[in-house]
Structure 1
Amino acid sequence: MGPLEAGVLLLLCLLFPLLLSSFKMYKKIVQLPPGPTPWLFLGNILQKNVFPLYTFYPKLVEKYGPIFTIWMGPNPAIVLCGYEVIKDAMVNHAEVFGGRYTIPITDRVYKAQGMRTKDDTKWRELRRFTLSTLRDFGMGKKTMSERVQEEACCLVKDITASVQGNKFDLSKSITNAASNVICSVLLGRRFDYQDEMFKGHLHIVTQLMSLFVSYSGMLLSCFPPMMDCLPGPHKKVFADCKGLQAHFREEMESHKLTLDPENPRDYIDCFLIKLEKEKNSPGTWYGKEDLVMCVFELFLASTLTTSHSLLFAIFMMARFPDIQAKVQEEINEVIHTNRVPGMEDRVRMPFTNAVIHEILRYLKASNDNFPHSTTCCVEFRGFTIPKGTAIIPSFTSVNFDPLHWETPEEFNPAHFLDNKGQFKKNNAFMAFGAGKRACPGEVLARMELFIFFSTLLQSLRFQLVEEVTDTDPLSLFIKYTNKGQILPIQAIKR
């Protein structure tokens, strides 16, 4: 065989798997809901007007309807939009649409352990245990509300002491505070905002999330073999995550030495007690590595979601000073200045409660990036969806559904107020997801947001220090945060 024939044979060997994958991909297209035509190998991930979904879903719905298919490389994902469709899937058919979809990046980080297990029975048990523990706010000598109140005071003190000049990076202080709350639950203690180890841990968390939502992260998820073959920042992120998990492993061993089964101090203690009780049970779901990965996941999720929501809340108050003034007026009437706001105040502060809910509704959700999967083949609203298909419920489309919100594109706290100015619920509010895989930390997140937000506005006034010409505050916020820029906000002591 000559060099030319050998070269042709090698080329065919390389192209055959790609051609076979593409054939299977286009064969599936005719069997799934309609959607934008995918490119060969890459699907829709690099196409304009598809990603990010929270921006382009309205045009896709207009063209293809509320159920459509997008392609993450050679893998299809069915997107569900609108309150009626998502409620039908996530609530009425919770078991069918509540499967865990395998994401290569999370597989690499979690090794399918903890609540990232592929075993649905084990996932149910660990989630149940975690929800129960998070609801038990009396794990130590302080209630959970008291822990959040103390951290809120530390946050106000840090901001007040750090403000110099017109700009101050609120994001770092807010991230520190949000992370300290979950650290008090998981580890039984908080960290000083200047602690170098603590700052290093938070940097790892932000880098991992940046990888998740980046185009390079999407490519890595679509083509897992690339993770090992190609150099890039993802390798350092994975190595750093291993280092953080090793730290939680050390925390676990340290907790063992001082564990009192009658007086658990935190989540790790509760898990260790459960692990000891279950150690002789056949097929137990509790293991040491499951504890490490549960702690890692809770630390990651709680730190990022709460800090991002709170930072957006402060930005919106600076952007809408009239709404900020009305919140502060209510705080003055109900709480005054002689004590820290508590959860018992929320029922007497309907406007503040409505503002927080509207902030969460208006902040287009990052949880649109994490698919579910079908647990069996299902006929759903005229489509046959195979078992194991990725499902992306666009909760942003629910929170902006024009059929359920009077002015969905406007920031309007009246969405959550009745004619008498009292707080009212809206079933189309799904900021924390819905169904069996709704956010397990919702109760804690709501508590943090109310106490942090109220305490900050009790002591400080926030204003923009640059002229804003962008009429869409959310786009402006995303522009600053995605580029890692300091938000143009000034904090002034009241």
Structure 2
Amino acid sequence: MEVVLTNIWSVVMAIAVVSLLWKSLGKGRRMGFEKLPPGPAPAPVIGNFLQLRVKEPYKYYLELSKIYGSVFTLWFANTPVVVISGYQALKDSMLGLGEEFSGRGTYPLLLKVTNGYGILVSSGDKWKQLRRFSLMTMKNFGMGRRSIEDKVKEEANILVQSFRTFGDSAFNPREMITQSVCNVICSLILGQRFKSSDAHFKLLVNAVNAYFGVLNSPLGQAYNIFPRIVGLLSGELQKMFVTVEKVKDFLKLEAEARMKTLDPSLPPQDFIEAFLKQMEEEKHNPNNEFNFNNLLSTLWNLLSAGTETTSSTIRHSLLLMMKHPDVQERVQKEIDEVVGSDRCPSIADRQNMPYTDAVIHEIQRSMDLTPTAVPHKTLCDTEFNNYLIPKGTTVLPLLSSVLTDPKLWKNPDHFDPENFLDEKGQFVKSNAFVAFGMGKRACLGEAMARVELFLFFTSLLQYFTFRATVPPEELDITPEICSFGRIPRSYECYAVPRA
């Protein structure tokens, strides 16, 4: 990886030196951006790329917000990117001007994987149609309701049984957790769960891991700024693209098989069937966005994002419980008092478990899984904070600036469930909890993720006490990757059965 990046940067610098002979900084900027917010001076051709901390770019953004304020501009090559920081500025933009900021920013890696189709990368009417349909369909299949709860309980029970097989031995829970979460998504979009040995299931899980491995790497950051150059130099990128295409080929076969047997008079059994029925109903609509390309890319969006974000959070939750055994013990005490040992936890228990609810929220807040939301784009010329942001400008909402703001949290720099508890020990909601994003493009699967996090977390702690292979004070809880997202580091643990 480092060798590849060194080669990439060498090529980039060579291009920059040559370009200095014919392109000045002023000419490098496109007309129409004169009233953009201020920011650090960009270099010709490469912009602010060399100033970025490619392994932790969000920290650079946080530093710039202290210099330039809540709105500032960076240049990725010759493309301006406006960063919005702080709760009030994000509220004013993502909520107050939600429609204007609701476009999807150009992100070459996402565009390459989806070919420009699907709910994640679309904007305007296409996005509205796909999001409205997806929300309705997921709700019909029980997102946040009992049916999806039963599926999560099933996977949580299987995960508990898998952990039990290790007995007194230490193990790495990553693969098992990822498979369990992935199976929840598969039950929604494909109407079935898979055995861990299934070849297609292995392909799905491996593709998700490869995709986010690149997306969250310096290589992925470099590709998003210099896609043509980096795409030619990196074999790792090409390998990932091929793997994702194999997944889409599998999903296409699943959709084609359902199309042959689909009975429009019967209720759909999964997301694919629901989408195919919508394709049939909309086939005479000239503005119809329901086609195979949007179906396959939307399925990949749901599968990849739904698997990685939730599984990473669950893995990090166990790491934090090992780091803070006093918190783990208090959660288990609440589980014992409310749920007991004779039944599985249910989502209805959450209202009677304020401390556990606070712990889960604090895990998400302190983890800061997505420091910047997936890039937005202005759909029209937009005046904001006395600046003019032209139509089509990429906008980065800096969620990390809210989740770590000392003005909004009691103890923002440390893991502390008290951030979500009042003086009586009752759970307190906070508008500053933006772990799922903010505004019109907030996380599509938030309701489902909340169900999964509560049930997986409480089910595991109901049966096990988690211990690290090193003393708690020596346990490193810093993320392994801190780029596009913050991915928890790999670890081994002991799952000690509770009496």
- How many angstroms apart in 2 are the aligned matches of 1:455 and 1:317? 14
2:37 to 33, 37, 40: 33
Q: What letter is aligned with 1:263? A: P
Map of 1:112 onto structure 2: 116
Map of 2:414 onto structure 1: 410
Q: Does 1:94 align with 2:73?
A: no
Q: CA deviation digits over 1:440-466, x for unaligned, max 9?
A: 000000000000001010011111211
- Consecutive unaligned residues of structure 2, counting only runs of 5 or more, are 1-13
The CA RMSD measured in Å over matched residues stands at 2.8
**Deviates further, 297-306 or 199-208:** 199-208
**Deviates further, 228-237 or 144-153:** 228-237
Map of 2:255 onto structure 1: 252
Map of 1:207 onto structure 2: 210
Map of 2:351 onto structure 1: 347
Map of 2:393 onto structure 1: 389
Deviation at 1:472, TM superposition (A): 7.4
Q: Is the 8 A contact 2:179 2:196 kept in 1?
A: yes
- How many angstroms apart in 2 are the aligned matches of 1:85 and 1:369? 14
Aligned pair in 2 of structure 1 residues 483, 264: CA closer, same or farther (>3 Å)? closer
Q: Aligned to 1:354, what secondary structure does the other structure show?
A: helix
Map of 2:5 onto structure 1: none
Alignment of 1:41-440 (within 5 A): 41-47=45-51, 52-116=56-120, 118-138=122-142, 143-162=147-166, 165-166=169-170, 168-226=171-229, 229-261=232-264, 262-366=266-370, 368=372, 370-440=374-444
Q: Is the 8 A contact 2:468 2:475 kept in 1?
A: no
Aligned pair in 2 of structure 1 residues 468, 317: CA closer, same or farther (>3 Å)? closer
Q: Is the 8 A contact 1:50 1:57 kept in 2?
A: no
Q: Is the 8 A contact 1:374 1:387 kept in 2?
A: yes
Q: Aligned to 2:49, what secondary structure does the other structure show?
A: coil
- How many angstroms apart in 1 are the aligned matches of 2:57 and 2:474? 21
Aligned pair in 2 of structure 1 residues 136, 483: CA closer, same or farther (>3 Å)? closer
- How many angstroms apart in 2 are the aligned matches of 1:339 and 1:181? 21
Aligned pair in 2 of structure 1 residues 137, 76: CA closer, same or farther (>3 Å)? same
Q: Is the 8 A contact 1:187 1:267 kept in 2?
A: yes
Q: What letter is aligned with 2:67? A: K
- How many angstroms apart in 2 are the aligned matches of 1:122 and 1:386? 21
Q: What letter is aligned with 2:214? A: L
TM-score, scaled relative to structure 2:
0.89
Q: Aligned to 1:134, what secondary structure does the other structure show?
A: helix
Q: What letter is aligned with 1:268? A: I
Q: CA deviation digits over 1:304-330, x for unaligned, max 9?
A: 000011111111111100011000000
**Deviates further, 147-156 or 23-32:** 23-32
Deviation at 1:193, TM superposition (A): 2.1
- How many angstroms apart in 2 are the aligned matches of 1:269 and 1:487? 39
Q: Is the 8 A contact 2:480 2:489 kept in 1?
A: no
Q: Is the 8 A contact 2:231 2:237 kept in 1?
A: no
Q: Aligned to 2:151, what secondary structure does the other structure show?
A: helix
Map of 1:5 onto structure 2: none
Aligned pair in 2 of structure 1 residues 165, 119: CA closer, same or farther (>3 Å)? closer
Q: Is the 8 A contact 1:50 1:56 kept in 2?
A: no
- How many angstroms apart in 1 are the aligned matches of 2:422 and 2:279? 48
- How many angstroms apart in 2 are the aligned matches of 1:228 and 1:64? 33
Q: Aligned to 1:366, what secondary structure does the other structure show?
A: coil
Q: Is the 8 A contact 2:478 2:488 kept in 1?
A: no
Q: Aligned to 1:40, what secondary structure does the other structure show?
A: coil
- How many angstroms apart in 2 are the aligned matches of 1:350 and 1:111? 44
Q: Aligned to 1:392, what secondary structure does the other structure show?
A: strand
Q: Aligned to 1:368, what secondary structure does the other structure show?
A: coil
- How many angstroms apart in 1 are the aligned matches of 2:146 and 2:427? 29
Q: Aligned to 2:88, what secondary structure does the other structure show?
A: helix
Deviation at 1:51, TM superposition (A): 5.8
Aligned pair in 2 of structure 1 residues 34, 142: CA closer, same or farther (>3 Å)? closer
Q: CA deviation digits over 1:137-163, x for unaligned, max 9?
A: 359x97111011111001111111145
Deviation at 1:279, TM superposition (A): 1.8
Q: Is the 8 A contact 1:213 1:369 kept in 2?
A: no
TM-score, scaled relative to structure 1:
0.90
- How many angstroms apart in 2 are the aligned matches of 1:396 and 1:175? 25
- How many angstroms apart in 2 are the aligned matches of 1:116 and 1:369? 12
**Deviates further, 190-199 or 81-90:** 190-199
Q: What letter is aligned with 1:332? A: D
Q: Aligned to 1:462, what secondary structure does the other structure show?
A: strand
Deviation at 1:198, TM superposition (A): 1.4
- How many angstroms apart in 2 are the aligned matches of 1:482 and 1:59? 18
Q: Aligned to 1:189, what secondary structure does the other structure show?
A: coil
Aligned pair in 2 of structure 1 residues 413, 289: CA closer, same or farther (>3 Å)? same
Aligned pair in 2 of structure 1 residues 16, 361: CA closer, same or farther (>3 Å)? closer
**Deviates further, 427-436 or 399-408:** 399-408
- How many angstroms apart in 2 are the aligned matches of 1:117 and 1:47? 27
Aligned pair in 2 of structure 1 residues 230, 477: CA closer, same or farther (>3 Å)? closer
- How many angstroms apart in 2 are the aligned matches of 1:452 and 1:44? 42
Q: Is the 8 A contact 1:45 1:218 kept in 2?
A: no
- How many angstroms apart in 2 are the aligned matches of 1:410 and 1:483? 18
Aligned pair in 2 of structure 1 residues 469, 215: CA closer, same or farther (>3 Å)? same
Q: What letter is aligned with 1:392? A: L
- How many angstroms apart in 1 are the aligned matches of 2:481 and 2:109? 27
- How many angstroms apart in 1 are the aligned matches of 2:259 and 2:150? 26
Q: CA deviation digits over 1:332-368, x for unaligned, max 9?
A: 0111011111111111111111111111111123261
